[in-house]
Amino acid sequence: MMVVDMEDEKKVHNKHTHEEHEEMEMHKHEEHKMHEHMEHEGHEMGKEHEHMEHKDHGEHKHSHAEHHKMMMEDFKKRFIVSAILTIPILLLSPLIQKFLGFTFTFTGDRYVLFALSTVVYFYGGKPFLTGMKDELKKRTPGMMTLIALAITVAFFYSVAVTFGLPGKTFYWELATLIDIMLLGHYIEMRSVLGASRALEELIKLMPTDAHLITPEGIKDVPVSELKKGDIVLVKPGEKIPSDGIIIEGETSVNEAMLTGESKPVYKKPGDIVIGGSINLEGSIKVRIEKTGKDTYLMQVVELVRQAQETRSRTQDLANRAAFWLTLIAITAGSATLGTWLYLGKPFVFALERMVTVMVITCPHALGLAVPLVVSVSTSISARKGILIRNREAFERAKDVQVVVFDKTGTLTEGKFEVTDIIPLDELEDNEILKYAAALEGHSSHPIAQGIVEKAKELGLELYEVEQSKVLPGKGVQGVINGKEVLVVSPGFLKENGLWKEDERVNKVLEQGKTVVFLVIDGKLAGALALADKIRPESREAIKRLHEMGIKAYMLTGDNAKVAKWVAEELGLDGYFAEVLPHQKSEKVKELQEKGFIVAMVGDGINDAPALIQADVGVAIGAGTDVAIESADIILVKNDPRDVITAIHLARATYGKMVQNLAWATGYNTFAIPLAAGALYNYGILLSPAVGALLMSMSTVIVAINAKFLKV
């Protein structure tokens, strides 16, 4: 594994050999070590997982996504029922009648009011009452405690008044408070997209069937029935059913989705193959070594699961405000009661003042302050192609100090393009390209597609090819214009004594580019260098991050030479190369341990644990479903510049939240002393009705302010 800070890198010069064979051996060795490491960790994970507490999410009978949806539907249902019952409660409330100038009374009306309010309190208020229990158990009183405290004090005081205690009831305040809080929670949950389905998406990558080789012939069986030691046949284009070792045949395997290695990896007998990777060329026979939860992919699933469950759920902004308001409500309420009793006022008067203070302290606006901003912010971000899945992480995005980008498919397009054409004989550049593209025309290999794409781009007319055949892991061969033509790897040239030292070739190899050679009638005619195409937007994204004072790093499974070339091209602050997927989250952790707030941007399965480990996980659009499900923020377009837009939006959103919370809680500065009776001697005593009017005004201001959010 290679970790490089670009500052230090400039001072160091490493010598690299160019033999692909050695690179492959190293890759194989790393992969083998990784598998052993994962196998060992698997048991530890299993044990840890058993001890995980699932209190927050029931008993995990449902997936995160289903659980989230059920909670959202529950809030919606409770809101509708409570809102319908609130209409008669308002009509029967003496204060509302007085306020609107009408009377509507009948015998026993106060008992009807009591009955309706009881349903609203117990049915509508249930989430807040159970929420308070959970918060107090964790010793983190927040929004739920504040709401539960206000509605409980209002309800029991009003019941006491209904059955004989002198005073006024607070039924309508209780009902409207519950309605608005239920609505706020529903808006909030709907705007935070469904919780994670990453695990199901990861599991979907595994093929369902395998061609098992038996003494009776080939039999198709479900992958779940495979056992260690079974021999399976994998045809070109098929997924490898489980982790194993090739015992017959050679091919190239696409592991990009699993390991982030952009180049297809040449595999021969004795090499390890990973379940879920795609066989590109020849048919191979594989001896199964690992099945079920021991496979590499399932270990990644386990890492994702662990990271999801241990992610710290920091209290959000409104909860912090609610925590202080809870303390203020209890302190101010108790002080009000004590002061009036000390001054010799009747207990009933002191109690009414205390209840008024405690009900007024829980502002309706606080329940909407954050959800409304989130709702507006979510719609703005959706228009800009940024989907927010985790609000807490989105809030953290404003403080990001380091952005770590995955390379393949994020900073680069994950597609090979021809960067250099090097003539090694009399042929001109375009002729070299015409021969190579003609020969590669029928291959689905990414390198072949890159060569054909370049010829198309230049509008070249390709030659006719006869007798073409694939040389697995080495190249292609065919007859063009009566000449024997080969497009082959450096390894093939060395094996066949055709290799010639050339400074231009050495330079592109030093940059980590993939080089293929054109051989015509046994004579070396030219070389084509290909590299994973850097997105044009990546340069601007890195430049703008630097202008904002944010460092940019790159994380890749690719070799150090490729990583160095990309890092220098983009002016990155540093890079981690040859990082295996399970180590990606460790690299993010290392940066976090240095005190940085880290955002990770990735698009592949191999990025999922790192996306979850990061303070902010960002999945880039065309990535896999797994990366998307593991991320907090999803960029719909494949444009790294959208990371900057997301950070700006997070900062603007946070600013609006702070303003709204100031409005929502600011009125308490006036309302609490007035409700407590601070100006009683001047004949000013805040009645619950006026308190409610102030409450409504702050709610309207908060709603209007949220609408002014812009990026």
| Kind plus residue range of the DSSP H or E element containing 205 | none
* 8 Å CB contact between 401 and 596: yes
3-state SS string for 91-127:
HHCHHHHHHHCCCCCCCCHHHHHHHHHHHHHHHHCHH
Q: Which of 59, 221, 158, 84 is nearest to 359 (CA)?
A: 158
Question: Which residue of the set 243, 406, 558, 607 is catalytic?
Answer: 406
DSSP 237-275: TPBP-SSEEEEE--EEEE-HHHH---SPEEE-TT-EE-T
Residue whose tokens read 């049915």: 123
* Cross-strand bridge partners of residue 554: 405, 575
3-state SS string for 346-388:
CHHHHHHHHHHHHHHHCCHHHHHHHHHHHHHHHHHHHHCCEEE
* Cross-strand bridge partners of residue 251: 267
Phi-psi region of 270 (alpha: psi -120 to 50; beta: other; left: phi over 0): left
For the question of residue 406 being annotated catalytic, the response is yes
Q: Which of 435, 442, 432 is nearest to 462 (CA)?
A: 435
Cα(620)–Cα(566) distance, rounded to whole angstroms?
A: 19
Burial class (CB in 10 A: 0-12, 13-18, 19+), 366: buried
Cα(523)–Cα(529) distance, rounded to whole angstroms?
A: 19
Residues 6+ apart with CB under 8 A from 511: 531, 561, 562, 564, 565
List the catalytic residues.
406
